[in-house]
Amino acid sequence: MRRQHRKNHAPENQLRWGKLPPNALTRNLRDFIDSMGARGLSFLTLRGRLHAIRRFILWADERGLSDPREITLPILERYQSYLYHFRKPNGEPLSFSSQHAELSPLRAFFKWLTRQHLILYNPASELQLPKINKNLARYVLSIENVESILMLPDTNTLLGLRDRAILEVLYSSGIRRSELRRLSVYDVDTKRGTLLVRNGKGAKDRIVPLGQRACEWVDKYLRDVRPRFITGRDEGVLFLTLHGDAFTGYAIGDTVKEYILKSGVPVNGSCHLFRHACATHMLDNGADTRFIQAMLGHASLESTQIYTQVALGKLIAVHAATHPARLDKLNTSHAQTNEAITRDTRAQLLTSLAAEVDDDEDCDGSVTTSFYRRLYYPRPGRRGPRKKNIQNDNDPNA
């Protein structure tokens, strides 16, 4: 039975401006968003910058500030203090990562105003952004947790079979939620066991492996479920809703979260938990960090290292082998020590969700602040080690 196609009256990739005061700051904001869009910034980046600058414009309008030439560094610092003392409806303050996300677009906005010669100087150039803390994850899904969640969907139903395929792809590939819902049927090659992620974070494409079990569930979904979900024009999106639409917003996250709640695992989160679990379990089993970096789509190893922590078993073995207080009790050989080090126990994840706020963060990799590395230059005249420091292997007195 064909279901009637549901029209989407609220396009997903449409910026919501809301009510803004008709002043110079608002006009500059519209020109700024147009300019950033022309540069190729993603919709998520534009939306984040629009919401952050819009909040500042409303705050400034309440204080009689309507022109960018009236904004000074002390005013921006007052706004930063306002964000620090702001309380959400539940009474909790904004996290430092949220405050950072609110202030970073302001630096980009005033930098653009300066380049356009709309203001004489950039008042946000000396604004110090709050430090983002990297905290330990409260909970990491174990292999048993993941398997129990994967078994929850009723695969005798169409929706259950689709949800099982979604969970398998998330856990097998470690892709982000936004990357999952943008997948096309042509991006998945179940014969080769690969998955193509288009326009991932940093606007980069990458190919990630897809396990055999996940490939089998995707094949079953493509064969038995997806053709029955199509109600109108087939745009090639891999995972569809019951009405034949592509998933929008937090729909996939809500679906995954329902299964996590049903499993009884005491943890908050949804799709990103499977990304954490995928990286952690592979590292526990000996995968190299550089391969995990390529699979997750990180530009540097620093981003990957937030997913890793030395396994507790390794740490205990190294401590027992090297700490002076235990050296007198150790009579094992070097080989035995290495064997003890290789015995892993459960690994805990050192991560900060603020460092990678799921897939709602900027997906084009744009950074509104600049970080410069200090280049190293050798001292003049220093060309190498002195001759007296070079030992001769043939010299018996060396």
Catalytic residues: 176, 201, 272, 275, 298, 307
- Rounded to whole angstroms, the Cα distance separating 232 from 16 reads 28
CB neighbours of 323 closer than 8 A, spacing ≥ 6?
none
Query: Which of these, 136, 140, 164, 142, lies nearest to 151 by C-alpha position?
Result: 164
Question: Quick one: 90 exposed, middle or buried, by C-beta within 10 A (0-12, 13-18, 19+)?
Answer: exposed
Query: Which of these, 193, 161, 167, lies nearest to 180 by C-alpha position?
Result: 167
Half-sphere exposure of 345 (CA within 13 A, CB side): 8
The full DSSP string for 259-300 is HHHHHT-----SHHHHHHHHHHHHHHTT--HHHHHHHHT-SS
Half-sphere exposure of 111 (CA within 13 A, CB side): 14
Q: Tokens at residue 51, please?
A: 């919401």
